[in-house]
A and B are shown apart, each in its own frame.
Chain A
Amino acid sequence: MTALTERAVRPVLTVEDLSVVYDVANPVTAVKNVSLTLAPGEILGLAGESGCGKTTLAYAINRLHKPPARIASGSVTFSDADGSDIDLLALSDEKLRAFRWSKLSMVFQGAMNALNPVISIAAQLDDVLRTHRPGMSKAERRARSQDVLQRVGVDPKRLNSFPHELSGGMRQRVMIAMALILEPQVMIMDEPTTALDVVVQRDILREIIRLRDELNFAVIFITHDLPLLLEISDRIAIMLRGEIVELNSGEQIYRNPQHPYTQKLLGSFPSLTGDRGDFIRTGDHALTGDNR
């Protein structure tokens, strides 16, 4: 938040006091009064463990949630680069469809398996452009598809491949290409590299950072892997049981964590190159927040 006021930039996405409730017999509040701002070109990390509501939040921002989930309160405002403000929660279904993907796109967890196996990459990219950019000619669409593949580090010759002909890392790159193809201003990435090996993960992260620098889109990066977030994010939000318990710059989160849960999370990752911490291999109950 401080980063924002210092830069005095108009945020691209503002989430205010958002609550999402699962309307079951005893309603469960999956997301509680979450407020976030996202500056253009910023990478905001969202860290939390399974069931903390991070995925529910991501879906709710894009109104992809389904019953019994329901947005109980709050607002999501998208501030377009052209100066207009869009109230996402008030958009009609038709406008929302047009808005999604062209202004705000998502890369899902395991998205590489969401590619249609019987349709070529070219056709799937073309499909997005045909839906959202009806004015483009066939040749333009093909050129755009090739360009976007090149950007994510996939040989454009692979355009006519089918998903099963590509490795997991390549498929994930294609998914990122698909999310980029309409040049959105915000991308929400939900565990985009969790299923991948570390070397491939590292390469894809580099690619995301490079593309962000080129195209200046903002990213909400959701993962349970805090060290990874510390490396790539400008700011990090720590989520626990539906609430954001700490939101600060990566540096502050790492050097000076305030919330006990943040300290516990940081302590859960033994450092690769650092000292062998005393807490390791000495006993069961050593894992507490203060002996990080």
Chain B
Amino acid sequence: MTNLTPTTEPSVADADEALAATAREEGRKPRAGWRAMLPSMTPSLVIGFGIVAAIVLFGLLGPLFVQDPTTVRNSGLQPPGGGHLLGTTQTGQDVLAQLAFATRGSLEIGLIVGVLATLLSAFFGVLGAYLGGFADEAFSLFSNVMLVIPGLPLVIVISGFVPQEQRGLWTIAVVLAITGWAASARVLRAQTLSLRNRDYVAASRVAGERSWRVIAVEILPNLLPVIASQFVFAVIFAILSEAGLAFLGLGASNSSTLGTMLFYAQNGFALQLKAWWWFVPPGLIIALLGCGLSLINFSIDEIINPKLRNVRAHAKRMRIARKAAAR
């Protein structure tokens, strides 16, 4: 009997019109234009945004207030307290200072990789799919090849080949961007293939729009939520991968990141010496940043698939009704 379930079965998710009607009656105007693209305020968005904003602020402003992270002191491995809020490393460096600079370094990497990977995926994904024919085949083949190349080993090999003195922040960022864009490009290609066959794209071609305008004005805005979500994902990917690389000793040589902090903590036997204040803070920031960005991504999901929003709105109403009944 399962196969007799109607495809048109009305469900909460489909109650779009009814919900929109009530929204209008309550005097809330349906949001228009760019504002409809913004996620609605949900607890997950607020929490995610709060976490990320706090970490970003810490990375931006922290370095201005802390001590010099490189100063070596005789007071090694001091627990938190006294002159050092988060204690010191084996060589007596201030952990809080290191943490502030490392957070800034990781965020830089994340941002650079996020932008580069998004640009690459948008170029190969959207352009190929819109043009179709040979360009699509070629771009699609290229992204497939990039997709099957195992990312981290390739990054290790490339990082290993680049001499350590040249292995700066940008080198690592470029390597991570090159290995990280292919999956997004495939998603964008699939989306674009569906969008380019929509009637409104055909209508704009009939109206006489040039190809670049069709892509930039008619197709891209409708891809924005997907691209935003992929950007956030690319940032998470970059920060985690960089941390992994740095932990293996293949990180950027001229800057400190959360990964390099963990690398030095590991080399300094922080775990064995029970110096938790050395490795817990960077680990925690990585975890929190990943968590915060993911929470933001869930909210973006609701824009891509508005049905999720209806389900949530309904759940909320049911909760309120139950509370009212209990009273």
Contact = CB atoms under 8 A, between A and B. Distances in A.
**A and B: interacting chains:** yes
Contacts, number: 74
Contacts of A111: 6-7
Interface in A78-105: 101
B273 interface: no
Interface string A96-118: 00000100001011110111100
Contacts of B12: 66-68
Interface residues of A, number: 34
A65 interface: yes
A110 B9 CA distance: 11
Residue among A68, A108, A115, A124 with most chain B CB within 10 A: A68
A86 B252 CA distance: 76
B165 interface: no
Contacts of B11: 66
Contacts of B17: 51
A106 B5 CA distance: 10
Contact of B3 (A24, A68, A124): A124
A139 interface: no
B53 interface: no
A24 B26 CA distance: 12
Interface string A191-229: 000000000000000000000000000000000000000
A24 B19 contact: yes
Which range contains the number of B residues in contact with the other chain?
A: 20 to 34
A287 interface: no
Contacts of B2: 116
B3 A119 contact: yes
Given A24-B317, A115-B3, A119-B3, A109 B22 contact: no
B10 A24 contact: no
A69 B8 contact: no
Contacts of B9: 59, 64, 66
A178 B4 contact: yes
Contact of B22 (A28, A69, A119): A28
B26 A55 contact: no
Contacts of A72: none
Contacts of B8: 55, 108-110, 190
Interface of B: 1-12, 15, 17-19, 21-22, 25-26, 314, 317-318, 321
24 contacts: A23-B317, A23-B321, A24-B15, A24-B18, A26-B21, A26-B22, A28-B18, A30-B18, A55-B10, A59-B9, A64-B6, A65-B10, A66-B9, A68-B12, A68-B18, A68-B314, A108-B7, A108-B8, A110-B8, A111-B6, A116-B2, A116-B3, A124-B3, A128-B4
Interface of A: 22-26, 28, 30, 51, 55-56, 59, 64-69, 101, 106, 108-111, 113-116, 119, 124, 127-128, 131, 178, 190
